[in-house]
Structure 1
Amino acid sequence: MPKEDDSASDYSDLESIHSDVEEDLEDYKKGGYHPVNIGDRFDNGRYIVLRKLGWGHFSTVWLALDTLNDSHVALKIVKAANRYTDSALEEIKLLECVKKTNAESKGWQHVAQLLNHFWHQGPNGKHACMTFEVLGESLLTLMKRYNYKGIPQNIVKRIAKQVLEGLDYLHRECGIVHTDLKPENVLVWIPNIEAYLKTDTADILKEIKEREHQLPSPNSMTPTTPNIERRRSSTASWHEGMDVESMSKSKKKRLKKKMKKKTLDDVEEVEDKLGNLKISTNWSTPKEAKVIPSSILDITSIGSEEDLDTIVIKIADLGNACWMDGEYTHVIQTRQYRSPEVIVGAKWTNEADMWSVACMIFELLTGEFLFDPRAGSKYNKDDDHLAQILELMRTVPKLLISGGEYSRDFFDRSGKLKHIKKLRYRRLRDVLHDTFLVPPEDADAASHFLLPMLEMDMTKRASASHMLKSTWLKDA
């Protein structure tokens, strides 16, 4: 049986950004978070930290001023352990592909853009850092604004069209599978964000600069980035106390080799895994780690009600994304948006994203999950998840019955579930109409739009480019 796993994977960007609870102070340790204070500078002084935007289990994210361009950025600082830096390097490759493939594409503007990346050496290790354009809150906040009763249909249609355009760009032009689409990972673009931030952060920036003028000059402080030349010259000190003059030639030769090897090791320690990233020097001394509260930018407090009619969104968080040309069976997607082929352990590809899109659009329309499985005394969440899907879609393709690593744990040979016998079949349009009181004509239209993306046989599931031709989106 597959293990119970409701998360998308072991590396994700901003996955806990919406939580009222901040990161654990105990995670500020070797291999963990980098301790950040308001006013800290990164990338040789280029970025000044102004505010904390949020955190994930694998990174913290900060609002920073890019002094080079006099504009604000979201600065993501990944934990220092190798598993996170390796994932960050892969994420950077994906983001670079998104950035460079085709800026003229409609979908390009609906995927959050990477601006810069560099390494930063801190007391807990070497951290991969990325800067992104500053965006507003996620669609989750928009759902909260409407008290989880559903967002107006005209706004949902506009969001759906842009998500599909962004996804079509990722799939068809970049060859990328997102793997974790959900309201939390779709962010709202705020057109006047820079003007707002300049006003909002003016006092903070002034206070930081006044404080900096009172501090010793950077040249009198110790950089946290290892200095290769300094370390190279200091390698001679490790053999102090040895009587080198009285050594035999062979011993002197061995000593010389050891010194040379240590010098190379010190250099490699700094240069290892650099790739094309730059090392950042932070000319501030390490401070005691503390948890700073997040202060997320909220479109509902910046924009007006009318702004929602022209809402622009961007797909974010490629922390779990992967290339389409691979063969994958590992668990992806947050539980409520997980496709049936992933549940049974079958091979999956970009069609899995389309399932997530349908689940997300339903949630935007109604304020509730389309599928929200619970474990019972005789079955687990996966059993209940498949049961809920079957109640809506009725028939099971052979791919799910026998094509997955765990298919036989769920289905008998006839395609019936082993652990849940009684199902309550229903139509999607009836769920929309009867449960959520969507008018009949709207329920029929929304159901007709969603069902091609909820095809249980992923080989028959509609693509993003196909869905963009839907009449449901014509007024979006």
Structure 2
Amino acid sequence: MSCSSSSGSEDDDEGFDSYRKGGYHAVRVGDQFAGGRYIAQRKLGWGQFSTVWLAYDTTTSAYVALKIQKSAAQFVQAALHEIDVLSSIVDGAISDSKFVVQLIDHFKHTGPNGQHQCMVLEFLGDSLLRLVKYNRYKGLPMNKVREMCKCILIGLDYLHREHGIIHTDLKLENVLLASTIDPAKDPVRSGISPILERPEGNINGTVTSLIEKKLKRRARRAVAKISGQRASMGGMGEAPKPGRNIDGIDVRCKVVDFGNACWADKQFAEEIQTRQYRAPEVILQAGYSFSVDMWSFACIAFELATGDMLFTPKVGQGFSEDEDHLALMMELLGKMPRKVVATAGAKSKDFFDRHGDLKRIRRLKFWPLNKILIDRYKFSESDALEFSEFLSPLLDFAPEKRPTAQQCLEHPWLMDKDCS
């Protein structure tokens, strides 16, 4: 999948109701774009704002990811913003070695539902979320985790230091492997010839396939329900499957999806980041800078190494998701320093009393990172110590104390690990 969140999703489908004025553009295999330069091959994914297609570039004889935005004004605006950010970081060979997705081209395409802004991006493989799922939510081997961390950090250092850009939505879905996990799904490695003209009988492919999918999904649910009843009658659950062998998978990866990115000196939104990867200063509305990406990066690194999210807050009786999130952070990191609470931001008084304790969640159980890694994830003491020494500084409540991407790249845990 060559894009995510505002670009491509791992979920079922986008629903055919959205193919209307202001919505998605219905694409058929073999459709041509930009005066015939790009030819649609198959759908890679979809998001709230767009659908993403594998396309063949007839000019360069290469496969690309074609992102077609919905046509309503707010989506056009969002696409223009993303094009603006991506164009500013395109620097030929330099940005290619910086593990950040490359924008190849952009143009407008007029269809029955309006005018759609289109972006042509390099074709990449599966997301790190897909990799974690493929590995059945087991922790990935630490040599692979190191390699992926190094790629992401090179990308962040390039964005932060050389371009003054904050990504603001770093998560597993927004980091893509350079190639697909399954070679058969890679258009080059699979050796399949490109589709150059529309196959016969493909009248309204997108909408028809969505209706078929819906019917198939209903049938699957019915079957699952019946088998679920059988399993519960037998009282036997399925044994947990071991992780798959991922030794042969190339884990070099690139940071993608700049739909929410901003320049540090030109910020647009107060509430940024996907919930589980959100930094404390964002929850407290205390302003933010590059260090929010570093917090999210630490959450990603933990997830790759364990298969679990670091923080999964929930709404509870008498407290909000925000407050639960802060409580989970304090159980892992200890009490938030008084100074940070006092200067934290507009929402501090909503959550904390004058002693720096949470108002509505009282009994916190402190369980530090290295102990979690040993007790819950069965890390050896030395591995747990090394990994938590790398991660803990990134999870500092004081944003200015978090190491930069450049400093992380010099950390002993990453040294002598290749990512070229």
On whether the aligned pair clears a TM of 0.5, the verdict is: yes
Note if contact 1:332-1:338 (Cα within 8 Å) is conserved in structure 2: yes
Q: In structure 2, how many angstroms separate the alpha carbons of the residues matched to 1:406 and 1:305?
A: 44
Could you state the TM-score of these two structures normalised by the residue count of structure 1? 0.75
Which residue of the other structure, out of 195, 199, 216, is the alignment partner of 1:205? 195
1:415 aligns with 2:407: no
Q: Give the structure 1 partner of residue 112 of structure 2.
A: 123
Q: Give the structure 2 partner of residue 442 of structure 1.
A: 383
Note if contact 1:59-1:78 (Cα within 8 Å) is conserved in structure 2: yes
Q: Give the structure 2 partner of residue 169 of structure 1.
A: 158
Q: Helix, strand or coil: the match of 2:297?
A: helix
Give the CA deviation at 1:289. Answer: 6.0
Q: Spell out, residue by residue over 1:118-156, the C-alpha distance to the aligned partner (whole angstroms, 9 max, x if none).
A: 001111111110011111101112112221110000100
Which residue of the other structure, out of 259, 266, 280, is the alignment partner of 1:340? 280
Identity %: 44
Q: In structure 1, how many angstroms separate the alpha carbons of the residues matched to 2:269 and 2:401?
A: 19
Gaps of 5+ in 2: 214-244
Give the CA deviation at 1:450. Answer: 0.1
Note if contact 2:124-2:180 (Cα within 8 Å) is conserved in structure 1: no
Relative distance call for 1:195 and 1:51 in structure 2 (3 A) is closer
Q: Helix, strand or coil: the match of 1:75?
A: strand
Note if contact 2:30-2:199 (Cα within 8 Å) is conserved in structure 1: no
Relative distance call for 1:145 and 1:408 in structure 2 (3 A) is same
Q: Give the structure 1 partner of residue 138 of structure 2.
A: 149
Gaps of 5+ in 1: 1-10, 216-285, 295-303
Q: Helix, strand or coil: the match of 2:90?
A: helix
> Residue type of the partner of 1:403?
A
Q: In structure 2, how many angstroms separate the alpha carbons of the residues matched to 1:175 and 1:119?
A: 28
> Residue type of the partner of 1:127?
H
Give the CA deviation at 1:475. Answer: 3.7
Which residue of the other structure, out of 63, 72, 86, is the alignment partner of 1:95? 86
Structure 1 runs (4+) deviating above 2 angstroms are: 11-15, 102-105, 190-196, 198-204, 208-212, 286-289, 291-294, 304-308, 326-329, 397-403
> Residue type of the partner of 2:75?
Y
Q: In structure 2, how many angstroms separate the alpha carbons of the residues matched to 1:386 and 1:191?
A: 37
Q: Give the structure 1 partner of residue 414 of structure 2.
A: 473
Note if contact 2:340-2:397 (Cα within 8 Å) is conserved in structure 1: no
Q: Helix, strand or coil: the match of 2:54?
A: strand
Q: In structure 1, how many angstroms separate the alpha carbons of the residues matched to 2:259 and 2:208?
A: 23
Give the CA deviation at 1:202. Answer: 4.2
Relative distance call for 1:470 and 1:292 in structure 2 (3 A) is farther
Q: Give the structure 2 partner of residue 72 of structure 1.
A: 63
Give the CA deviation at 1:350. Answer: 1.1
Q: Give the structure 1 partner of residue 317 of structure 2.
A: 377
> Residue type of the partner of 2:273?
Q
> Residue type of the partner of 2:103?
L
Q: Helix, strand or coil: the match of 1:49?
A: strand
Q: Spell out, residue by residue over 1:169-203, the C-alpha distance to the aligned partner (whole angstroms, 9 max, x if none).
A: 01000111111111111101129989951575846
Which residue of the other structure, out of 84, 102, 109, is the alignment partner of 1:113? 102
Q: In structure 2, how many angstroms separate the alpha carbons of the residues matched to 1:31 and 1:420?
A: 44
Give the aligned length.
Answer: 379
Give the CA deviation at 1:103. Answer: 4.1
**What does 1:359-370 correspond to in 2, within 5 Å?**
359-370=299-310
Could you state the TM-score of these two structures normalised by the residue count of structure 2? 0.84
Q: Give the structure 2 partner of residue 23 of structure 1.
A: 14
Give the CA deviation at 1:426. Answer: 1.6
Q: Give the structure 1 partner of residue 30 of structure 2.
A: 39
1:404 aligns with 2:360: no
> Residue type of the partner of 2:10?
H
Structure ranking higher in helix proportion: 1
Relative distance call for 1:424 and 1:210 in structure 2 (3 A) is closer
> Residue type of the partner of 2:276?
Q
Q: Give the structure 2 partner of residue 158 of structure 1.
A: 147
Give the CA deviation at 1:60. Answer: 0.1
> Residue type of the partner of 1:170?
L
Q: In structure 2, how many angstroms separate the alpha carbons of the residues matched to 1:71 and 1:459?
A: 43
Q: Give the structure 1 partner of residue 333 of structure 2.
A: 393
Relative distance call for 1:287 and 1:170 in structure 2 (3 A) is same
Give the CA deviation at 1:402. Answer: 4.4
Q: In structure 2, how many angstroms separate the alpha carbons of the residues matched to 1:435 and 1:174?
A: 40
Q: Helix, strand or coil: the match of 2:391?
A: helix
Give the CA deviation at 1:97. Answer: 1.1
Q: Give the structure 2 partner of residue 428 of structure 1.
A: 369
Relative distance call for 1:384 and 1:291 in structure 2 (3 A) is farther
Q: Give the structure 2 partner of residue 353 of structure 1.
A: 293
Q: Give the structure 1 partner of residue 51 of structure 2.
A: 60
Q: Give the structure 2 partner of residue 277 of structure 1.
A: none
Q: In structure 1, how many angstroms separate the alpha carbons of the residues matched to 2:320 and 2:267?
A: 27
Larger Rg: 1
1:14 aligns with 2:7: yes
* CA RMSD in angstroms, aligned pairs only: 2.6
> Residue type of the partner of 1:33?
Y
